[in-house]
């Protein structure tokens, strides 16, 4: 019996109509797909290329916490795969054009193996914000177009009460020159149809991009504030990353006195708020200097509202006259669209 799990050795095999060409080697800093193995595949019938994500139960069992029965964990993993699959189908049915949805799914079975391998196949992107080379050399029009695309995708999710919970550069995929889409719903959950694994209050897919309040153990009892507000903070981080090549969370933490930094502060979130606000204004001042003057006022306003350290104050300011809910992204999508068109004609 081979010691390497089946999901780790699919190269060269035919999975339904997909020939598995090459395994994607994960880097140390890549925290995506913790319980999966990923491959480049090609449709043997029409030559279409794809990206296959296979559930790797062995990887999951290595992370099994003491006291959790393996049978229970296996059931949860299978439920989570089905949940993600169904969520992707729901997004496709709703016509979410800026969400990367599955083009195929199923189970690969080998009679010599104990467990089948559930898998999802996605369209192949040309890259992600994480691996696009010389990102700082991309022009402003390109960056604004990418921001617009992923904000549209996130807005499409939020309109259906779905939160992503893992917004980071590697999950913003680029198709062609500048069409951006939001990918990987493996950590997502829905208000009226909760994820079996990832609906925990404190959950975040990648803590390097987490909303600041979670790092201090604070979770609002209000679903919109806790879930939508968290996605908004991560979205603000992506915009900052595109403009400055730095994550807003990292910049914010760097401006905090050492004793108030996440994981070092021993008090409650309420006590650290004044220090977070001071660091927040310092961070906005730094970011503002690095924004093109022609769009500086609008863009720093967007970053400031999306990345506010207090989730109850995040999003559309309460004093603004609008019919939109506080955490709606529609206003920001509209502003970015206007800025993008402005830059294109300059």
Q: Helices in the chain by DSSP H: which ranges?
A: 57-62, 70-93, 140-159, 223, 229-244, 248-254, 269-289, 296-306, 330-344
Q: Which residues pair with 23 in a beta bridge?
A: 39
Q: What is the largest CA-CA distance in the chain?
A: 66
Q: What is the pLDDT of residues 232-279, one digit of tens each?
A: 999 999 999 998 889 999 999 999 999 999 989 999 999 999 999 999
Q: What are phi and psi of 100, to 5 degrees?
A: -75, 110
Residues 100 and 219 in one domain: no
Closest CA to 129 of 186, 175, 91: 175
Residues 148 and 15 in one domain: no
Print burial letters for 27-55: b (CB count within 10 Å at least 16), e (below 16): eeeebbbbbbbbbbbbbeeeebebbbbbb
Residues 117 and 133 in one domain: no
Residues 94 and 131 in one domain: no
Residues 136 and 112 in one domain: no
Tokens matching residue 231: 């996605």
Lowest-pLDDT range of 69-83, 154-168, 290-304? 69-83
Domain that holds residue 22: 6-123
Residue 33 has pLDDT above 90, yes or no: no
Quickly tell me which residue has 């209050």 as its tokens.
201
Highest mean pLDDT among 172-186, 299-313, 315-329: 299-313
Span 112-139, average pLDDT: 82
Residues 201 and 74 in one domain: no
Q: Indicate whether 260 belongs to any domain.
A: yes
What pLDDT shows up at residue 242?
92
Residues 30 and 92 in one domain: yes
Residues 17 and 88 in one domain: yes
Please answer whether residues 151 and 329 qualify as being in contact, where contact means their C-beta atoms are separated by less than 8 angstroms.
yes
Span 160-183, average pLDDT: 95
Residue where a domain terminates, one of 93, 108, 123 = 123
Residues 131 and 213 in one domain: yes
Q: What are phi and psi of 210, to 5 degrees?
A: -70, 150
Helix (H) or strand (E) holding 38: strand 36-43
Residue 126: alpha-carbon gap to chain centroid: 18
Number of domains in the chain: 2
First to last CA, the chain: 65
Residues 93 and 136 in one domain: no
Residue where a domain terminates, one of 123, 150, 177 = 123
Q: Indicate whether 76 belongs to any domain.
A: yes
List all residues 6 or more positions away from 88 whose beta carbon is below 8 Å from its beta carbon. Answer: 101, 102, 105, 120, 185
Helix (H, G, I), strand (E, B) or coil at 128: strand
Average pLDDT across the chain, whole number: 91
Q: Indicate whether 1 belongs to any domain.
A: no
Residues 183 and 56 in one domain: no
Residues 240 and 290 in one domain: yes
Please answer whether residues 231 and 158 qualify as being in contact, where contact means their C-beta atoms are separated by less than 8 angstroms.
yes
Tokens matching residue 15: 């999975």
Q: Indicate whether 60 belongs to any domain.
A: yes
Span 276-288, average pLDDT: 98
What pLDDT shows up at residue 6?
92
What pLDDT shows up at residue 1?
47
Residue where a domain terminates, one of 123, 140, 165 = 123
Percent of the chain with pLDDT over 90: 75
Residue 134, domain CATH: 1.10.510.10
Residue 62, domain CATH: 3.30.200.20
């Amino acid at each position: 019996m081979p010691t390497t799990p089946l999901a780790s050795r699919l190269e060269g095999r035919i999975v339904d109509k997909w020939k598995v060409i090459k395994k994607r080697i994960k880097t140390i800093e890549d925290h995506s797909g913790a319980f999966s193995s990923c491959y480049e595949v090609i449709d043997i019938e029409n030559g279409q290329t794809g990206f296959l994500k296979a559930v790797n139960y062995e990887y999951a069992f290595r992370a099994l916490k003491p006291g959790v029965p393996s049978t229970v964990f296996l059931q949860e993993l299978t439920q989570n795969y089905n949940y993600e699959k169904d969520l992707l189908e729901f997004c496709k049915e709703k016509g979410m054009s800026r969400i990367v949805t599955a083009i195929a799914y199923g189970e690969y079975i080998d009679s010599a193996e104990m467990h089948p391998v559930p898998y999802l196949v996605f369209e192949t992107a040309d890259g992600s914000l994480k691996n696009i080379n010389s990102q700082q050399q991309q022009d402003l029009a390109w960056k604004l177009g990418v921001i617009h695309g992923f904000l549209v995708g996130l807005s499409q999710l939020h309109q259906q009460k779905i939160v992503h919970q893992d917004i980071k550069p590697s999950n913003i995929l680029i198709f062609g020159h500048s069409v951006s889409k939001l990918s990987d719903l493996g950590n997502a959950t829905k208000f009226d149809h909760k994820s079996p694994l990832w609906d925990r209050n404190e959950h975040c897919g990648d803590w390097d991009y987490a909303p600041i309040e979670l790092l201090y153990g604070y979770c609002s009892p209000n679903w919109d504030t806790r879930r939508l507000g968290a996605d908004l903070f991560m979205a603000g981080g992506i915009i900052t990353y595109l403009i400055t090549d730095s994550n807003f969370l990292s910049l914010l933490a760097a401006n905090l006195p050492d004793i108030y930094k996440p994981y070092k502060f021993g008090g409650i979130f309420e006590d650290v708020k004044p220090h977070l606000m001071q660091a927040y204004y310092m961070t906005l001042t730094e970011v503002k200097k690095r924004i093109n003057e022609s769009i500086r006022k609008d863009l720093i306003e967007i970053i400031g509202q999306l990345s506010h350290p207090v989730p109850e104050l995040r999003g559309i300011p309460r004093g603004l006259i609008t019919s939109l809910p506080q955490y709606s992204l529609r206003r920001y999508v509209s502003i970015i669209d206007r800025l993008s068109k402005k830059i294109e004609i300059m």
